[in-house]
């Protein structure tokens, strides 16, 4: 009788822990979808308002003005701020910066709807969604340890950044086209890698729940959502470079 009671208690704890992990994982994707929705609305608003566009783009050349340039680089600064200030920032402050990041990113990406045909934007977005979804499922369900690929993928990201900077001076469209294929491949693999990493974070919260404050768990969900959002965004942008039809 005592053994049966012990087994019942053990099973109930197991179910409770599993629910903690699943709740954390669900919160990550919820925050990711919130950021995606905010960015989409911001991009649509800028695209639909000629007055708003005038604040970001030169009406004669169609290029970004000073404010448009600031809006383009501000999201990167906010990502660095969130990473560096994770321990010092409160949950409310982190959420505020996260929402500001998503808004500014949507503003900076509003040029997509100006440069590319709507059909190709929707098509590439759908393709990115499919790729991201498949790799997320693979990363969550696979028993293969993907952590060993982390350094290789990070090196690939650094290589893409360096190549992009070099191409800013070269201005080669062919080089940009080839680099886009590498970009899709790297961030597709990163999606599976990061999903598995986030799953392990959730399992770590289960096993060491008493060491994690509720606010720290919520902050981890925000940062994890940011990681997945950037993976999805890069897949979409690189696909658009390859298959996007310009106006």
Q: What are the tens digits of pLDDT across the range 78-132?
A: 999 998 888 888 889 999 999 999 999 998 888 887 778 888 889 999 999 999 9
pLDDT at 215: 57
Would you say residue 15 has pLDDT above 60? Answer: no
Average pLDDT over residues 213-220: 74
Residue 71 sits at the vertex; the CA angle it makes with 244 and 116, to the nearest 5 degrees, is 15
Residue ranges per structural domain of the chain: 2-243
pLDDT at 67: 77
pLDDT at 16: 44
Average pLDDT over residues 208-221: 68
pLDDT at 207: 61
First to last CA, the chain: 75
pLDDT at 240: 93
For the chain, the DSSP string reads -HHHHHHHHHHHHHHHHHHHHHHHHHHHHHHHHHHHHHHHHHHHHHHH-HHHHHTTB-TTT--B-HHHHHHHHHHHHHHHHHHHTTTTS-HHHHHHHHHHHHHHHHHHTTHHHHHB-HHHHHHHHHHHHHHHHHHHHHHHH--S--GGGHHHHHHHHHHHHHHHHHHHHH--HHHHHHHHHHHHHHHHHHHHHHHHHHHHHHHHHHHTGGGS-HHHHHHHHHHHHHHHHHHHHHHHHHHHHHHPPB-
Would you say residue 25 has pLDDT above 90? Answer: no
Residue 210 pLDDT class (50, 70, 90 cuts): very low
Residue 165 sits at the vertex; the CA angle it makes with 111 and 169, to the nearest 5 degrees, is 90
Tell me the per-residue pLDDT of 143-185, one tens digit each, with 9 for 90 and over. 888 989 989 999 999 999 899 889 888 888 888 889 999 999 9
pLDDT at 206: 58
Residue 214 pLDDT class (50, 70, 90 cuts): low
């Amino acid at each position: 009788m005592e053994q049966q009671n012990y087994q019942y208690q053990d099973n109930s704890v197991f179910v409770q822990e599993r629910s903690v992990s699943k709740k954390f994982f669900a919160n990550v994707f919820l925050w990711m979808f919130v950021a995606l929705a905010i960015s989409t609305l911001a991009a649509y608003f800028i695209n639909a308002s000629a007055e708003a566009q005038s604040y970001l783009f030169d009406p004669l050349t169609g290029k970004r003005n000073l404010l448009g340039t600031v809006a383009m680089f501000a999201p990167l600064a906010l990502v660095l701020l969130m990473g560096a200030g994770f321990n010092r920032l409160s949950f409310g402050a982190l959420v505020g910066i996260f929402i500001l990041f998503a808004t500014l990113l949507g503003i900076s990406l509003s040029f997509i709807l100006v440069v590319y045909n709507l059909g190709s934007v929707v098509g590439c977005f759908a393709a990115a969604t499919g790729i991201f979804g498949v790799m997320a499922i693979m990363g969550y369900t696979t028993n293969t340890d993907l952590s060993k690929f982390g350094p290789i993928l990070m090196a690939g990201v650094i290589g893409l950044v360096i190549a992009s900077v070099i191409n800013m001076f070269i201005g080669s469209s062919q080089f940009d086209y080839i680099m886009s294929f590498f970009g899709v491949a790297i961030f597709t693999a990163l999606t599976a890698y990061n999903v598995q990493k986030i799953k392990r974070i959730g399992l770590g919260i289960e096993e060491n729940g008493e060491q994690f404050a509720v606010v720290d768990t919520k902050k981890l969900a925000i940062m994890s959502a940011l990681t997945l959002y950037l993976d999805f965004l890069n897949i979409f942008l690189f696909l658009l470079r390859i298959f996007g039809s310009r106006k």
